Amino acid sequence: MKDTIAPHGGKLVNRIAEDKEREALEEKTPNFKKIKLNKREISDLEMIATGGLSPLEGFMLKKDYDSVVDMMHLSNGLSWTIPITLSATEEEVKNFKEGEDIALEDENGGEVLGILHLEEKYRYDKEKEADQVYGTLDAAHPGVAYLYQTGDILLGGKISLIKRPRHTNFMKYRLDPSETRKIFREKGWRRVVGFQTRNPIHRAHEYIQKCALEIVDGLFLHPLVGETKGDDISADIRMKSYEVILEKYYPLDRTIIGVFPAAMRYAGPKEAIFHAIIRKNYGCTHFIVGRDHAGVGNYYGTFDAHYIFDEFDPEDIGIIPLFFDHTFFCRTCGSMASYKTCPHDSSHHVTLSGTKVREMLRKGDIPPVEFTRPEVARVLIEGIRQQ
């Protein structure tokens, strides 16, 4: 059985150096100039190498960077909304020459993970990127805050991965795009829906995932475990909550979980497109887009992540978005519902703010069963106590 959806750009990129190529690069690396990567750059390096960011083969050159910031497309015309860049200070790269190979070290400088085949060094306008990508210049926005503290020079060029980053957690869930595609083929899944999350699954998530399962062959639950802002619930706790709910409430023959190694950008609608394209690379044919996808604070409208898809050619995006309204438990309907299906006003709905839920969990109180499964709440309470 063939894959039912092609990767973005038509080919799954593989920039992992193998065997003789890797050995040759490793022999040369002691003589290369070096630069340390931060956590986000390390996760980007790995995702470029494994094809998660296809068609990118490296960190963006200026023509692609400018095109993405200005036009939401790569220079070849393919849809793309988030710059994938490697920054450095002028001091760090003053001796770097275009055309040479640069060793990419982990954040501690102890290991060389890959090689940047440096094609270009260029300056960029951080405020312009903040405005165009994040829609704000406010340094309180976590994505903008990250951007403002990066170096003033960007390094562009293809990469070669010679050593995978060291991971000590979620090993059985660390599936590359080639692996998920193989699993989907073996299961005979022709229609696969992907779900992005950086939060524990509550009843609203469960509802929209199961609605989507009604029209596809399988669900690929793909929680993000890369770098997030400090007050997000840790990946370890979240993964335990996913395992608990999957075991008891999901059809295991129609559900797969794998961790998504990317860092959060909190770019709202732009990141919704980005997340959809990446799940296409993993082999998904459909992608769930809920309310305020990848949002933070009050920077984006509730359904901006839905509306942005209208700005793209559906054939170019290639993956089918499934848009869901705000969902909740309605006491009068006696079931989960959304504003699309429920005729009753909000006084009938069980809704809790994230702040209220965190307060309850810190106190050891289990939120209403209409909001979250008790098994999930107990995992979260225990995890919060151990923090």
* Domain count across the chain: 2
How many Cβ atoms sit within 10 Å of the Cβ of residue 78?
19
Instruction: Assign residue 283 the CATH number of its domain.
Output: 3.40.50.620
In a domain, 13, yes or no: no
Q: Facing residues of 196 across strands? A: 222
378 flagged as catalytic: no
- Alpha-carbon distance of 81 to 99, in angstroms, equals 27
- Alpha-carbon distance of 351 to 364, in angstroms, equals 19
Shared domain check, 311 and 249: yes
Spell out the per-residue pLDDT of the chain, length 387, in tens. 778 899 999 999 999 999 999 999 999 999 999 999 999 999 999 999 999 999 999 999 999 999 999 999 999 999 999 999 999 999 999 999 999 999 999 998 789 999 999 999 999 999 999 999 999 999 999 999 999 999 999 999 999 999 999 999 999 999 999 999 999 999 999 999 999 988 888 899 999 999 999 999 999 999 999 988 877 788 898 999 999 999 999 999 999 999 999 999 999 999 999 999 999 999 999 999 998 999 999 999 999 999 999 999 999 999 999 999 999 999 999 999 999 999 999 999 998 877 788 788 889 999 999 999 999 999 999 888 876
203 flagged as catalytic: no
Shared domain check, 57 and 177: no
Active-site residue, selected from the candidate residues 15, 40, 181, 198: 198
Active-site residue, selected from the candidate residues 185, 199, 358, 378: 199
How many Cβ atoms sit within 10 Å of the Cβ of residue 212?
19
Predicted local distance difference test score (pLDDT) of residue 231: 73
Shared domain check, 264 and 189: yes
In a domain, 7, yes or no: no
